[in-house]
Amino acid sequence: MSWKKKLFIPGPVDVEEEVLLESAKPLINHRGEEFHELFEDVKRKVKEVLSTKNEVVVLTASGTGAVEALAANFAPGRRALVVNAGEFGSRFAEALRVYGAEVVEVSAELGSAPDLETVVARMDAFKPDVVAFVYNDTSPGVRLSYAQELCREAKARGALVLVDAVSAVGGDELHVDAWGIDALAGASQKCLEAPPGLSFVVLSEEAREKLSKEAKSVYFDLRRYLEYSARSETPFTPAVTLLYAFRRALERILAFGVQKWVSMHAERAAALYRAFEALNLTPFVREEFRSRTVLSFTTPAGVSAVELRRSLSGKFGIEITGGLGKLRERIVRVGLMGYVPLRDLVALVAATGLVLKERGVRVDLERALDEVYKLTARL
């Protein structure tokens, strides 16, 4: 028997039917007035969700495409300091190197992040033109909790601030303008709860002025996108039907309330950390750096991460995932992005508890479920 899987992975997320149906609309001329109206509406709603007055460039690409666009347009000939707290921090550093930057990475052991004082000291020694970081690194689930302070320190030293916020946009506190973020990469398929395939870059005035005159990409040349965006178009064929769906997803968040949407992620994450600890699962990341959108855990002795994932999928149709790179077999990761009904959270906790209990693990399933049920008073 087959059934619809419930996704608790780091993206893509389950998408509401009304959003999916928007992508079934007829195609339109992407150089015509109808598209112009759609495109401007999407940009306007992205700005509203992010509370930014900066320019928004929409790309037909995954979140990695948006990050690569940052590298292609700000790396050539520059010195870049990358705060690396996981797999995607490493990828950001790799992209900046590929596009011609001299890169210094400031790293920490897996499950943590370098302390701010160390990062600032490296900034003072290296004197970077660019400071780049992943706000929420989904593997291993590290949230750079001092992001605002890091932006302030970087700007005080005259550096451009580049942020990969793909798994944080809509799911965590993020104030692009107030924090001084110059270039931010986001995407459709995570906390914004839309289908995958679209990403975007938000550019400050300073970032637009300092775009490299030697961008090393044709498809990701942000100068070209800004020129076309001024006339409500994209330089290359956009994913028109995905834009319809993305617009509807953004409308849902705005109707729900942006701050309420963000707070929902934090409250659910806190409850699930407590619930899974009652099931004898141990959070992998240091408490001060734990993600609010992708939670990672080590399994009890005698239960492999692979075995737990396989059982949840095969018996209950619940999909969680493992780590990346060195953590592939060591941890499980649970995505909590977009709107997740209480019944699905209850199903996740109950199924996980039953699988662990079956394998001889002592679990307090009643307490675990109670932690989730308490959310009914807040959500």
Contact 275, 148 (CB under 8 A): no
Q: What is the pLDDT of residues 120-176, one digit of tens each?
A: 999 999 999 999 999 999 999 999 999 999 999 999 999 999 999 999 999 999 999
For residue 132, give every residue at least 6 positions away whose Cβ sits within 8 Å of its Cβ, in sequence order, or none: 70, 80, 81, 82, 83, 92, 93, 96, 161, 162, 163, 164
Query: Percent of the chain at pLDDT above 90?
Result: 94
Q: Which residue has the tokens 């942020």?
A: 163
Task: Decide: pTM greater than 0.85.
Answer: yes
Position 379 confidence tier, pLDDT thresholds 50, 70, 90: low
The one-letter amino acid code at 92 reads F
Average pLDDT over residues 83-96: 97
Q: Is the pLDDT of residue 214 over 90?
A: no
The pLDDT value recorded for residue 292 is: 98
pLDDT averaged over every residue in the chain? 96
Average pLDDT over residues 63-75: 98
Domains, the chain, ordered by start: 6-12+258-377 (3.90.1150.10), 17-256 (3.40.640.10)
Average pLDDT over residues 6-12: 97
Position 376 confidence tier, pLDDT thresholds 50, 70, 90: confident
The pLDDT value recorded for residue 15 is: 97
HEC profile of the chain:
CCCCCEECCCCCCCCCHHHHHHCCCCCCCCCCHHHHHHHHHHHHHHHHHHCCCCEEEEECCCHHHHHHHHHHHHCCCCEEEEEECCHHHHHHHHHHHHCCCEEEEEECCCCCCCCHHHHHHHHHHHCCCEEEEECEECCCCEECCCHHHHHHHHHHCCCEEEEECCCCCCCCCCCHHHHCCCEEEEECCCCCCCCCCCEEEEECHHHHHCCCCCCCCCCCCHHHHHHHHCCCCCCCCCCHHHHHHHHHHHHHHHHHCHHHHHHHHHHHHHHHHHHHHHCCCEECCCHHHECCCEEEEECCCCCCHHHHHHHHHHHHCEECEECCHHHCCCCEEEECCCCCCHHHHHHHHHHHHHHHHHCCCCCCHHHHHHHHHHHHHCC
Q: Is the pLDDT of residue 377 over 70?
A: no
For residue 101, give every residue at least 6 positions away whose Cβ sits within 8 Å of its Cβ, in sequence order, or none: 71, 74, 75, 76, 77, 78, 79, 80, 130
